[in-house]
Amino acid sequence: MLSIFSRQGPLERLQLGLALGVVAAAFVLAGCQSKEGASGTADQSPPVAEVNGTPIHRDFFDFYVKEIAGGRSPSDLTADERKQALDNLIRAEVVAQQLEKDGTASDPQTVDMLGLTRLNVFEQVASQHFLKDHKPTEEELRAEYETQVALLPHEEYHARHILVATEPYADKLIEQLDKGADFATLAKQQSMDSSKDTGGDLGWFSPDRMVPEFASAVVALKPGEYTHKPVHTQYGWHIIKLEQTRDVTPPPYDSVRQRLVQIVEQKKFRAYEDGLMKNAKIVRNNT
């Protein structure tokens, strides 16, 4: 995705953001209408436009541009980009006013959508404010790295399989393997799985990527061995051959540091939310 965006110019990126955001903006604005303007606040900045007498204020326009233009201010945009940003805000305001006029803004589904938007926005803002003063320390990041490494599988497996519909048919194929038939050839001829084109080759994988029955059978094999009893899963009956194993090497700390920051921040904010939950008076009814 990043490589796709990197080939776009600033105007093209802005157009994409505006196109994706305009419908959501219309619903949000519909729930925020007031005499003061589209922002729903007593904004004292001069209006950059008016729609049927309702102003779109400068501060709100600036905020909108920063949100959809990666933090850039209107002065960083070209005249065409600023015009397009304002046109799309105007369009959203026109739609919002129409929803108010025809009563759609008060429909239960619309109200629910606005309610969810409110909760999402408030949680995002709360997270940003909380994390300003609770940045992960290097010690916390290192500790999280060790935690994540401990959760990684210690070994990966390279295996092949043959998938058939019934146990008796799988038993017959195992008899052929016992007599010296080539596993890959038999997979190409008999397997129902798309891996048949490569002789049943599944490549390298960790056990947690497979359904439990399949994973248990694989880890019980030694390289070169195959299952002498068919393995039943939700997909059918498998004959599995383990080709080889290898140790899993954890990624270097520096290569995953930014991801660790995200994980630690999520945990910190989750703990903050848990504290709020404990102090809140909550009544749960049957759902």
Q: Give the pLDDT confidence of 149-183 residue by residue, as tens digits.
A: 999 888 999 999 999 999 999 999 999 999 999 99
pTM here is 0.66
pLDDT at 286: 85
pLDDT at 153: 87
pLDDT at 4: 21
What is the tens place of the pLDDT at every residue in 217-247?
Answer: 999 999 999 999 999 999 999 999 999 999 9
Structural domain boundaries enclosing 51: 2-117
Residues of the chain predicted below pLDDT 70:
1-43
Helix (H) or strand (E) holding 11: helix 10-31
pLDDT at 41: 56
Same domain, 16 and 97: yes
Same domain, 91 and 157: no
- Alpha-helical (H) ranges within 51-182 are 58-68, 79-102, 108-132, 138-151, 167-178
Same domain, 110 and 7: yes
Position 140 in a domain:
no
Cβ proximity of 186 and 172 under 8 Å? no
pLDDT at 188: 98
Same domain, 110 and 156: no
Chain-centroid distance of CA 146 in Å reads: 24
Same domain, 190 and 111: no
Q: Specify the CATH number for the domain of residue 196.
A: 3.10.50.40
Query: In degrees rounded to 5, what are phi and psi of residue 240?
Result: -120, 135
> Based on the structure, what is the number of domains in the chain?
2
pLDDT at 180: 97
pLDDT at 282: 94
Among residues 117, 138, 168, the one where a domain terminates is: 117
Position 68 in a domain:
yes
